[in-house]
Amino acid sequence: MESLLMEVLFDFAKDLAKFVRRRSWEVICILGLFVIWSYLSRRVGEKLALVFELVLIAVVISIRPVRQRIGSFLRTQNVCIRFSQALSSLPAFESRPPSILQAKMGGHSTHLTLRLRAGTTADLLDNVREDIAVQMRLGSVRVVRDNIDSSVVHVKLVRGAPLSGRVLAWSGNIDVQTSLWDPIEVGIDEDGEAVAAYLPENSLLAGGEPGAGKSVFLNLLLCHICRDPSVQFFIFDGKPPELACWKPLCEGFADTDVDQAIVLLDRIRDLMADRYRRLGQLGLRKVTPECGLGFVVVVVDELPYYIASGKAGKEFGDKFRDLQARGRAAGIIIILTAQKPSSDNVPTSIRDLVTLRVAFRCSTRDASDTILGQGWSSQGYSASSIPLSDRGVGLFLG
């Protein structure tokens, strides 16, 4: 009988310890209020002490910034508790749950930084993210291991599909001049925050199935590019007349005539050589904001079309690879689009040099990884999960 009673008391103490650990802030607040009430009750009486506490709570709640902070804190704590409960129900983490180092709630997601215990790994947590999403009724759960400390894991809990069905107007003004040295806004993320891309010394690849939003994204970038009067830009329109409206503004334009495209590419390579000569005269290794040389932007829509055109396509691919490999220091920015930039239609020597990537909706996880890079879909970042109706929604890696 005594052993049974001890076992019941032990289980009760264990459950109580879990509750206190999960609700530590609530317990601290209750104990704090009790201490204040006990102190005041000995001096002014129990009733006046209770009235004073109620007035104090009412005053604190009436202050809007304080109320918002408290509400945000309580919501974040609630998410942390639900996350801990979901993990505790899984055999892999029941006896070794990770500790939450930091929690930050955004508009439609919560970012958690976890410290894993011995015997657990980020891969183990990644394997159960679908179970966590089901238990917490989330749209998706994403797990990324920290680059510096392997025991630290970053988890993103996304509620619903925050970008679904939203049509946004461009926030820029075509009449206002800007500099391409500044990051350009390319959209918003799941929390409603602006997503910016820094183009200097970078190249960009956008991919996805037909109608997913590549062309609109490309036109958005061109709108930003045109706002810098020092920029020269060249267009290879592999899907005419998609970019024909920009022909009066660009320095050079080529459509589906591959021989014409090669001539334009040679012209750009000559411009690159001239820029390197000027940089040498200035004693510089690369283009800087102070050197007086604006950027040269090369936009290639549907790159596979030009490369797959027989002997001329091979010539185009070789010259384009040279431009991509040597043009960065000369201030040449390359922007590419392709439905599926696999090694069959886009050489890996070109694709692997791209630093910024945007994956719009893809039909398969492999197609998404072809754009973003191998392994991203296994971490929960797959453009194949984007609903068919969500045109213009994509994953940005940069």
Domain boundaries along the sequence of the chain? 184-397
Please say whether the structural domain 184-397 has been given the CATH code 3.40.50.300.
yes
Which residues lie across from 191 on neighbouring strands?
Answer: none
Helix (H, G, I), strand (E, B), or coil: what is residue 296?
strand
| 386 neighbors 361 (Cβ within 8 angstroms) | yes
- Number of C-beta neighbours around residue 344 at 10 A: 10
108, 371, 374, 378, 384 from 365: Cα distances, Å:
24, 10, 10, 9, 6
- Maximum pairwise Cα distance, the chain: 96
Local confidence pLDDT in tens for the 398 residues of the chain: 556 656 656 555 555 555 555 556 666 777 777 777 777 777 777 777 777 777 777 777 777 777 777 777 778 888 888 898 888 888 888 888 898 899 888 777 889 999 999 888 988 998 898 899 999 988 888 888 898 998 999 999 988 766 766 666 656 566 677 888 999 888 888 776 778 899 999 999 999 998 888 888 999 899 888 888 899 999 999 888 888 999 998 999 999 899 999 999 999 999 999 999 999 999 999 999 888 888 999 999 998 888 887 888 889 989 999 999 999 999 999 999 988 777 777 778 888 889 999 999 998 888 888 888 888 888 778 888 888 888 888 899 87
| 93 neighbors 87 (Cβ within 8 angstroms) | yes
pLDDT at residue 68, rounded to an integer: 74
Pick the closest to residue 204 from 337, 111, 308 (CA basis).
337
- Number of C-beta neighbours around residue 193 at 10 A: 10
| 101 neighbors 115 (Cβ within 8 angstroms) | yes
As given in the structure block, the two tokens for residue 117 are: 């215990």
Whether a cis peptide bond, with omega within 30° of 0, leads into 241 is yes
- Number of C-beta neighbours around residue 230 at 10 A: 13
Cβ partners under 8 Å of residue 79, min gap 6? 103, 105, 110, 157
How far apart are alpha carbons 104 and 273 in whole angstroms? 49
pLDDT at residue 142, rounded to an integer: 86
What is the distance between the terminal CA atoms of the chain, rounded to a whole angstrom? 65
Amino acid at 17: A
Cβ partners under 8 Å of residue 258, min gap 6? 306, 309, 312, 313, 316
Amino acid at 322: D
How far apart are alpha carbons 8 and 94 in whole angstroms? 20
- Number of C-beta neighbours around residue 112 at 10 A: 22
pLDDT at residue 186, rounded to an integer: 86
Strand boundaries in the chain, DSSP class E:
99-105, 109-115, 140-145, 152-158, 184-188, 194-197, 204-207, 232-237, 252-254, 296-301, 332-338, 356-360, 394-397
How far apart are alpha carbons 314 and 319 in whole angstroms? 9
pLDDT at residue 2, rounded to an integer: 57
Amino acid at 13: A
Report strand pairing: 109-115 vs 99-105: antiparallel
Pick the closest to residue 102 from 80, 69, 133, 124 (CA basis).
80
